Amino acid sequence: MEATALNSLVNPGVRNLAPYVPGKPIEELERELGIRDIVKLASNENAFGPSPQAVDAGKKAMEDVWLYPDASGFRLKQKLAQRLDVRADQITLGNGSNDILVLVAQAFLNASLNAVFSQYCFAVYPIATQMVGATAKIAPAVSADDPLMPLGHDLEAMASRVDENTRIVFVANPNNPTGTSVAMADLLDFVRDLPDHTIVVVDEAYFEYQPEDTPTAIGWLPECPRLLVTRSFSKAFGLAGLRVGYAVSSPAISEILNRARQPFNVGLPGLAAAEVALDDVAHIERTRRENAAQRKLVANELHRLGYSVIPSAANFVLAHFGTHADAVFEYLLRNGIIVRPVANYGLPQYLRISIGTAVQNEKLLAVLGTFEA
């Protein structure tokens, strides 16, 4: 059957869906350039790597991979519950937090409903919304000239988009691709003021990169029954390849998601590694500390080279290269460095650069210093 005829058979939500654009894989650039030692700063992976103990636990679990994993994720949930001071029945495990975002959309949206999110938000929110045939209501972001939170979430603008058909509001804090974070007091006011028919997802994928005493939206659950907080093992925990994420919510919401999810959505090595990763507190502390130091260095050097950088609370920076963004991206690629173009996010003048190790960042900055427009 030809493609157009086949396309007419596809669910309307999927028909016009543009696929998610991942960062360019290292192997692909290796094949293209025929070189090694490629530096990938394109997918916000933890450049300092995972906890070695977590990797050992994952390897050990490989011996049992002929068995289905524990469908209830009992041990990981117990551990998370203890760590987060919630009950285990408030936790939903996902194949990455991406899985949870899609599950929430499947469980609560349909073609007559809408989801609200900010202009420069995580690409999965519009995909999950469109896929189930729902409407995206996009709130304009804070202005690029704002001194505190350029291009970040404008909570007032978001609140004004919420109507009687809004079932989900997505807020990433810190946000990707901008790296901005909203004040928790403002976010709490926003969440409190949402109508009862609206589920709010606070996406804390980059939570662990913030200073240690940073409050989490998980603390608001007792007073916000329609709140869902999502977290990931892909970013600071450095386990992106294993696909483990989770949501914390009321037991009622968790029970709904539990009905909609695949019974074995998290694999056996992932469950085992995540459990151990949670216990390796020193690994997260080191990651947080080194990322903060390197982020500061990268931002300062980018400024010195004449590029403005949006203040980031995460493990990446969004830097402004004006009309040279494409040329800089290509120049870096030719020199074995992969960063992330964000034109598909509506930000053609910017590049998103993940924070690497000291050696990787040095290479990035050295190559950037030789770029001539």
Ligand X SMILES: *Cc1c(COP(=O)(O)O)cnc(C)c1O
Which parts of this chain interact with ligand X (CB under 6 A)?
Answer: 44, 96-98, 122, 172, 176, 203, 205, 232, 234-235, 240, 245
Q: What is the smallest separation between the CB atom of 172 and ligand X, expressed in angstroms?
A: 4
Q: How far is the CB of 317 from ligand X (least distance, A)?
A: 14
In angstroms and rounded to an integer, the radius of gyration of the C-alpha atoms of the chain is: 21
Q: For residue 220, give Cα distances in angstroms to 10, 86, 215, 258.
A: 40, 11, 10, 22
Question: 């394109």: which residue's tokens?
Answer: 42
CB of 335 to ligand X, least distance (A): 26
Residues ≥6 apart with Cβ < 8 Å to 207: 174, 214, 216, 231, 236
Of 69 and 245, nearer to ligand X (C-beta) is: 245
Give the relative orientation of helices 358-369 and 281-304 as an angle to the nearest 10 degrees: 10
Torsion sign, CA atoms 267, 268, 274, 277? negative
Amino acid letter, residue 18: A
CB of 240 to ligand X, least distance (A): 6
Judge whether 113 and 94 are in contact, CB under 8 Å: no
SS3 at position 57: helix
Complex with ligand X: residue 234 or 254, whichever CB lies closer: 234
Name which of 204 and 301 has its Cβ closer to ligand X.
Answer: 204
Could you give the C-alpha distances from 167 to 73, 102, 189, 194, 199, in angstroms and in order?
A: 28, 14, 18, 10, 6
113 or 128: CB nearest ligand X: 128
- Least Å from the CB of residue 224 to ligand X: 20
Residue nearest ligand X, Cβ-based: 96
Coil, strand, or helix at residue 201? strand
Question: What DSSP designation does 43 have?
Answer: S
Nearer to ligand X, 158 or 368 (CB): 158
Q: Kindly state the helix (H) or strand (E) to which residue 199 belongs, with its residue range.
A: strand 199-203
Smallest separation, CB 131 to ligand X (Å): 15
CB nearer ligand X, residue 234 or residue 335 = 234
Residue with smaller CB distance to ligand X, 77 or 363: 77
CA–CA gap between residue 266 and residue 75 (Å, rounded): 13
Whole-number minimum distance, CB 362 to ligand X, in Å? 25
